[in-house]
Structure 1
Amino acid sequence: MRKILTILSEYGYWGEELVGPLETFDAAGYQVDFATPTGKRPVALPPSLDPTFVDPPLGRAVVSEEMAEKVKRLEDPKNPRLDNPIILSEWLPDRPYWSAEKFLREMEAYNNAIDEVQQDLVQYDALLIVGGSGPIVDLVNNHRVHDLILGFYKLGKPIAAECYGVTCLAFARDLVERKSIIRGKHVTGHCKEYDYLDGTGFVGSDLNMGPPPYPLEYILSDATAPDGEYHGNFGREISVIVDYPFITGRSTADSYTTGQKLVEVLEKGLRRYGW
């Protein structure tokens, strides 16, 4: 049985961006393990359960009645599926400060621990990072998430990411080379035209950031340069890019296709799609 490790934010994931791939993995007979930064059960962003919510940039509802019900069933406290996720802060080591008194010894211990995690990852066939606004808070600049991505990358295993989860790929960098692992690759992700002017929020907080804190399109364009490319595919209903080992999805509507293409990568040897 194939196993997929799925990382979720504790500050809100977009419901369909989990449900789409998850249903696809279930249909393929895969086992799915979940992980969060500190082990809290992940929670869907409220608009992703609301079929009346009108997405401001798109000017239309983006959650169907059927999808709202699916997300609600997954979120039901009586449903144990998202209970007890893997705790990233316990599984992966903390990086020492450069100014640490015994930096060399601490760095050696850190690298030894990372090598042990690398062995743990052999059991998994692929990694998925689910999107939504939550990843902005606790996944995008989380070095443990970066180290997990680098672990899959070094093993040559597929890495899928959706929406703002794709930012994690741009920032996953070897500490020596400092170059993004998506340099020279083709990816998609939340495009500039999809940015909110107001209302970027998170679960567990009353904070309204207004627009998102960064334009993801610009980050991905810079990270893939000079020989790669960001593909926003604005004006097209679906934007999913496969440039092995990466499978990236732009936003909510691309969730099922992201999961399907990851399955095709694993089962049919797909290496390029969408560009």
Structure 2
Amino acid sequence: MAPKVLFVLTSHNKLGNLDKPTGWYLPELAHPYHVLEPKTEIIVASPKGGEAPLDPASVEMFKDDVSVNFLNTKQSVWKDTHRLDEFVGKAKDYDAIFYVGGHGPMFDLVDNPTSQQLIREFWEAGKVVSAVCHGPAVFVNVKLSDGSGLLQGKTVTGFSTAEETQVGLTDAVPFVPEDGLNKASGGNFVKAAEPWGEKVAVDGKLISGQNPASATGVGEAIAKAIGV
């Protein structure tokens, strides 16, 4: 039987106090999905279920074949998601959980109790816990059953301060992922030599990617970690 991977998308569609749409980021779903779909069973969830908002800016910005093909042929993947709370207590049935980036998760997943419980359950069941870009921010406040932070002492990456500054959204988000991740990990945040470079951090069952360029690499790291 194929391994099962739970993909998590945001349900949030407004960018902080700006009158701009947001959501999940096209290549950060399209590329890992492209890598994993032939080898795994993928189930997609979001806090509210139903249609998860796609950030229109990511459609404009990413015209690569994988992203365009996904956009044109896989709409049911994000238009009919399960509710996140359906998966509480079911970590044993899955091999990995993966959080797609975009600015949306900063608003509805970072402090989401259901999300934090799921991450804790997956981690403590020995499953792969993974995310890309703004996605790793959802790990910042996760506490394990013994009270320790999930990220404490772990090597982790995510969207960098330089990248957030370049897109002009440092004031729109509750915190910049690099800052939160570096603090939660005890100074173990890593990043590519240059902004927008590919960087994937693998620390045991914890897999994180820095930005859209890292999305394929995260998918490949998940595949390797679950043995497909």
State the TM bucket, normalised to the shorter chain: 0.7 to 0.9
- Partners of 1:255 and 1:264 lie apart in 2 by 14
The answer on whether the counterparts of 2:31 and 2:66 sit within 8 Å (CA) in structure 1 is no
Q: Does 1:134 align with 2:104?
A: yes
Letter in 1 for 2:57: P
- Partners of 1:126 and 1:189 lie apart in 2 by 18
Residue 212 (structure 1) shift:
2.8
Aligned to 1:88: 84
Aligned to 1:229: 188
Residue 26 (structure 1) shift:
1.4
Residue 21 (structure 1) shift:
0.5
Aligned to 2:28: 17
Matches within 5 A, 1:1-275: 1-11=2-12, 12-27=23-38, 29-51=39-61, 63-74=62-73, 79-89=75-85, 91=86, 117-118=88-89, 120-174=90-144, 177=147, 179-196=148-165, 200=169, 210-225=171-186, 229-235=188-194, 237-267=197-227
Write out per-residue CA displacement over residues 44-89 of structure 1, whole angstroms, 9 at most, x where no aligned residue: 10111114xxxxxxxxxxx2343552343156xxx43334322124
Letter in 1 for 2:52: P
Write out per-residue CA displacement over residues 221-261 of structure 1, whole angstroms, 9 at most, x where no aligned residue: 11111xx6100224172100000110000010100000001
The answer on whether the counterparts of 1:187 and 1:241 sit within 8 Å (CA) in structure 2 is yes
Q: How large is the RMSD of aligned CA atoms in angstroms?
A: 2.2
- Partners of 1:215 and 1:133 lie apart in 2 by 10
Residue 220 (structure 1) shift:
1.0
Aligned to 1:206: none
TM-score (norm 2): 0.86
Identical aligned residues as a percent: 24
Structure 2 gap segments, 5+ residues each: 13-22
Which of the two has higher C-alpha Rg? 1
The answer on whether the counterparts of 1:141 and 1:171 sit within 8 Å (CA) in structure 2 is yes
The answer on whether the counterparts of 1:186 and 1:231 sit within 8 Å (CA) in structure 2 is yes
The answer on whether the counterparts of 1:22 and 1:259 sit within 8 Å (CA) in structure 2 is yes
Letter in 2 for 1:21: P
Structure 1 gap segments, 5+ residues each: 52-62, 93-116, 201-208, 269-275
Relative to structure 1, the CA distance from residue 71 to residue 45 in structure 2 (aligned partners, 3 Å threshold; closer, same or farther) is farther
Write out per-residue CA displacement over residues 199-227 of structure 1, whole angstroms, 9 at most, x where no aligned residue: 54xxxxxxxx85433121111111111xx
- Partners of 1:196 and 1:82 lie apart in 2 by 29
The answer on whether the counterparts of 1:50 and 1:68 sit within 8 Å (CA) in structure 2 is no
Residue 176 (structure 1) shift:
6.1
1:48 alignment partner, SS class: helix
The answer on whether the counterparts of 2:30 and 2:67 sit within 8 Å (CA) in structure 1 is no
The answer on whether the counterparts of 1:196 and 1:212 sit within 8 Å (CA) in structure 2 is no
- Partners of 1:256 and 1:233 lie apart in 2 by 15
